């Protein structure tokens, strides 16, 4: 049986009295790429922020390593869970300096990087294609270049669990597919990867597991093939998703509902 890396138990949350998520019972297994899908306002970003401990649930809990997430000190959480939000500040610092921030949860008070830390930073930037502009200030980079720098910071944190909110935003087609391939490699290496995606065909083609949110509840959870066969994706998104074989791979195509 595949070990469970992270799970929720009867998880509920509201913003200023407005319910956003209701009684979610979800499991995220080690070595699996999970895509969190759902229409706008369905609670996807809120779920990631709860899984990272940035938000405190109204009721229920997030369980990490047998402990309630809220009971785990912040630095210890950051050594186990890395989070890439969709909206981020753009500090006026060199790209490499930002990536070094990913090592902070593993450093002492001096935050002095060792040779091993510097190697991890360089490797992370190489994997995301960000080495060429390591010395350039973040404001001078394009949206896609900055996205790759932030992805490198996430990798430099070197955690077993990675949460990503729309990681392909701002990326061109080639880098979008390279990013998804990287997430696939990370999951195959044993990491738990949980990502919100709006690109349904991309998500269904890459993920091992899909969680479909609708109005703050889990409308369905399972393999991409299972959700496709059930037709629940068509109902929730109001479109038609077809399946085809292309070069020996199963691909999904979204079309207007007719």
pLDDT at 248: 78
> Considering the domain 4-80+160-256 in this protein, what is its CATH number?
3.40.50.300
Instruction: Delimit the domains of the chain by residue range.
Output: 4-80+160-256, 88-158
Sign of CA dihedral 113, 118, 121, 125: positive
pLDDT tens per residue across span 52-65: 999 999 999 999 98
Distance of CA 40 to CAs 15, 29, 218, 227, 238, Å? 16, 25, 14, 19, 13
Contacts of 51 (CB under 8 A, 6+ apart): 6, 8, 28, 62, 69, 81, 163, 194
pLDDT tens per residue across span 113-150: 999 999 999 999 999 999 999 999 999 999 889 999 99
Average of pLDDT values for 36-40? 95
Length of the chain: 258
When pLDDT is cut at 50, 70 and 90, the band that residue 238 belongs to is very high
Share of residues in the chain with pLDDT > 90 (%)? 81
pLDDT at 244 over 90: no
Where would I find the beta strands (DSSP E) of 175-216? 192-196, 209-214
pLDDT tens per residue across span 90-108: 999 999 999 999 999 999 7
pLDDT at 14 over 90: yes
pLDDT at 172: 87
pLDDT at 32: 96
pLDDT at 258: 63
For the whole model, what pTM was predicted? 0.94
pLDDT tens per residue across span 185-223: 999 999 999 999 999 999 999 999 999 999 999 999 999
Average of pLDDT values for 152-161? 96
For residue 139, the SS3 value is helix
């Amino acid at each position: 049986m595949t070990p469970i890396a992270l799970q929720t138990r009867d998880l509920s949350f509201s913003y200023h009295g407005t319910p956003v998520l209701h009684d979610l019972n979800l499991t995220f297994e080690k070595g699996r790429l999970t895509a969190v899908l759902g229409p706008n306002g369905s609670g996807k970003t809120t779920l990631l922020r709860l899984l990272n401990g940035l938000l405190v649930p109204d009721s229920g809990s997030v369980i990490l390593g047998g402990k309630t997430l809220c009971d785990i000190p912040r630095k210890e959480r950051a050594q186990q869970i890395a989070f890439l939000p969709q909206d981020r500040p753009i500090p006026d610092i060199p790209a490499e300096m930002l990536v070094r921030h990913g090592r902070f949860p593993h450093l002492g008070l001096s935050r002095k990087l060792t040779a091993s830390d510097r190697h991890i930073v360089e490797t992370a930037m190489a994997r995301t294609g960000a080495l060429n502009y390591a010395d350039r200030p973040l404001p001078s980079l394009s949206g896609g270049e900055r996205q790759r720098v932030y992805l490198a910071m996430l990798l430099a944190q070197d955690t077993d669990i990675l949460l990503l909110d729309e990681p392909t935003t701002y990326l061109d087609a080639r880098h979008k597919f390279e990013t998804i391939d990287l997430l696939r490699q990370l999951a195959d290496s044993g990491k738990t990867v949980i990502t919100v995606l709006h690109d349904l065909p991309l998500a269904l083609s890459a993920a091992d597991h899909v969680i479909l949110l609708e109005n703050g509840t889990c409308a369905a959870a399972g393999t991409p093939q299972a959700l496709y066969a059930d037709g629940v994706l068509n109902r929730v998104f109001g479109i038609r998703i077809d399946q085809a074989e292309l070069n020996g791979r199963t691909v999904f195509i979204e079309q207007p509902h007719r």
